[in-house]
Structure 1
């Protein structure tokens, strides 16, 4: 095990409930193969700090391993190197006594039962020195599959109770001249998935360059927690999606077809909640169902109406992998099933972490279809086919700054800072940024900063 890593060996839980990494009806049991890492290091060309540095450790066959820590500390990069999706800069990975080789087809290597990185669980809330955290400092839980639940139970559901100051030395570029936020103390937040974390880091770095002291409270589990933080004033701003606000928060069921009209409707109605919406981005991160190319051809899947046909003609083949939130949201499975007439068998919607869905669909064994976000960088990387929403069910999910209204009254310059940046956030640009994290294993914070500097919005130093 890496230097100073903490080993947690929880006792078996009394409940039979499955936790992250557990074997169950929706997740195959871990394969029996030992894993050894020898001086494993991953450095990205555009980052001064390594994502993972000089990690050496052994994991016995049959163990379940979970990496727990804040965004950017090396969890995803390590798993992607083990699963042979990205190449280490140096070091060796041995699986079952044989050196692992890089996959060139965009899919995972052998099934080691390492399906996710538990990024929702924050054992260490700070990013030391404002930079990356070496894997040696990550808390690692090692236990049998049934015992892993206890390690998670004590740490999950952290909510907005911790954060770390942004320590970057950044200066105004094309925005923030005159440092209009000098003396301000602002808190930014986000949900827990990649795009949200990147957008939260973009907002925080812009505020920092404009003179504010910024507390980073991004990576909050679920939509409601981050939203309530903005509403209550516990956080000052985040990027949110117009469709989420319209349906999930404001309770509407009828979709507004025109993206700008939907943004205007959300902006006007949310004023009474003490929330101010700034201009929306072209970026439309709507839901979609995806399939790998082989299954799309096999089942003749081009549209969601084709999926409805499959659920009736071949119910056993109509399996969908997706996140738990999608399964209950009105703009998710209940609504799309009603609109298209899905006759989905009980148990054929397989709940799993959103990040795992893409590799499961690419492999095509556990599920023929998966729920995807259209701006996710793994869609082109894994050559997944996006099925057409031919009845136009899914709302527009254009990203826009959702700000606490009291904060905007105190610091109206925020609008001028964020508007030019938001306009530059297109769907293809978001896919590229997301891919740098989800495919290449880079740190969301560094990806956000690199993009802002490259676009000329801020300067380092």
Structure 2
């Protein structure tokens, strides 16, 4: 097997004006899917954290690695991570790598142990949340700094590859009408209007972010509301003017919301990042996964999640189409 190529936390640049990130779905029929897709309001903003884990077919906990140099791609049990796992798996097959898929396994508590044991080779992760899970901290919230800390914090058997610009994290989002009428593009632009605005989000959002919004951006809002899973709809119908919506939430597209840019990195990096067992990957595998990271950005992931969560397209088919359009298949 080829020597593992350490990448020391390098990351592609964030596209200008890229929204900050996460997920839900739209109508009542999609509520259950949205709950699985978000996996964040109940887990403190961590896509892979919290909740009871469930083992899907092929997602057992055996420590035995797949035979014959097979790369085993795993995923957590929510649609975005399954989609990312499918993108990884198909990108590897396009390079001639033998792949086994183990999707819908559960939360990080289960997945991380399987990666350490070698039962899994590759997992789509979120760099900021993974660092927090491991008890690490980064004084600098940028992706490069977070990845540098991750490289130091991970056990020797595990490593991260190149992060994508795609992020799944908190945003402050407003309606398209507000953005156009008031010329709002960044969180900093809210300073002149925050005193007239009501902000909403999950129940814990106020306690976690009220002081940070004051300290970092000088924002004091007229009122805070607990809006939970209805936050995006509340922004659209005007019950609140600013909402804590997550950047890969399909409602951003469906309801024509505008996530405000976060130039001071209040919410920190949550870049989609391949986490690997070093003994189970080679240069072909790392090259193929890094090529995926180079092409995947937040807007693109949001568009893909709309197809999966709202249009109900098969994640494998969505992944296949994206890889073809990106020149990776």
Name the residue aligned to 2:274.
401
Shift of 1:250: 4.0
Distance 1:346 1:164, change over 3 A: farther
Name the residue aligned to 2:233.
359
Name the residue aligned to 1:161.
55
Superposed CA offset, 1:388-435 (max 9, x none): 325332223332211123423xx5542123222222223333233223
Whichever structure has more helix as a proportion of its residues is 2
CA distance in 1, matches of 2:216, 2:138: 12
Aligned residue pairs: how many?
287
**Structure 2 residue matching 1:195: 3-state secondary structure:** helix
CA distance in 2, matches of 1:336, 1:118: 31
Judge conservation of contact 1:160–1:220 (CA < 8 Å) in 2: yes
CA distance in 2, matches of 1:225, 1:450: 30
Shift of 1:444: 1.8
Question: When the two structures are superposed, what TM-score results if normalisation uses the length of structure 1?
Answer: 0.50
Distance 1:337 1:224, change over 3 A: farther
CA distance in 2, matches of 1:229, 1:337: 41
CA distance in 2, matches of 1:192, 1:327: 28
CA distance in 2, matches of 1:224, 1:345: 39
Superposed CA offset, 1:129-160 (max 9, x none): xxxxxxxxxxxxxxxxxxxxxxxxxxx94515
Judge conservation of contact 2:89–2:99 (CA < 8 Å) in 1: no
Superposition map of 1:269-284 within 5 A? 269-270=153-154, 272=155, 274-284=157-167
Judge conservation of contact 1:160–1:217 (CA < 8 Å) in 2: no
CA distance in 2, matches of 1:309, 1:383: 23
Judge conservation of contact 2:138–2:149 (CA < 8 Å) in 1: no
Shift of 1:371: 2.1
CA distance in 1, matches of 2:82, 2:34: 11
Judge conservation of contact 2:227–2:234 (CA < 8 Å) in 1: no
Superposition map of 1:130-141 within 5 A? none
Judge conservation of contact 2:201–2:245 (CA < 8 Å) in 1: no
Distance 1:386 1:236, change over 3 A: same
Judge conservation of contact 1:239–1:400 (CA < 8 Å) in 2: yes
**Structure 2 residue matching 1:421: 3-state secondary structure:** helix
Q: Which moved more, 1:434-443 or 1:294-303?
A: 294-303
CA distance in 1, matches of 2:138, 2:152: 17
Distance 1:320 1:400, change over 3 A: same
From 100, 106, 121, the counterpart of 1:214: 100
Name the residue aligned to 1:446.
317
Superposition map of 1:8-407 within 5 A? 83=27, 114=29, 116-118=31-33, 157-164=51-58, 183-208=68-93, 210-218=96-104, 220-221=106-107, 225-257=110-142, 259-270=143-154, 272=155, 274-294=157-177, 303-305=186-188, 313-314=195-196, 318-322=198-202, 335-336=212-213, 339-340=216-217, 348-352=225-229, 357-365=231-239, 367-407=240-280
CA distance in 1, matches of 2:255, 2:129: 27
**Structure 1 residue matching 2:243: 3-state secondary structure:** strand
Shift of 1:204: 2.5
Judge conservation of contact 1:319–1:350 (CA < 8 Å) in 2: no
From 408, 412, 437, the counterpart of 2:308: 437
Superposed CA offset, 1:44-86 (max 9, x none): xxxxxxxxxxxxxxxxxxxxxxxxxxxxxxxx9xx96xx5xxx
Distance 1:157 1:256, change over 3 A: closer
CA RMSD, Structure 1 to Structure 2 (Å): 4.1
- What residue ranges of structure 2 are gaps of 5+ in the alignment? 1-23, 37-49, 60-65
Shift of 1:350: 2.9
**Structure 2 residue matching 1:291: 3-state secondary structure:** strand
Shift of 1:448: 0.7
Shift of 1:292: 1.3
Whichever structure has more strand as a proportion of its residues is 1
Judge conservation of contact 1:255–1:393 (CA < 8 Å) in 2: no
Distance 1:208 1:290, change over 3 A: same
**Structure 1 residue matching 2:88: 3-state secondary structure:** helix
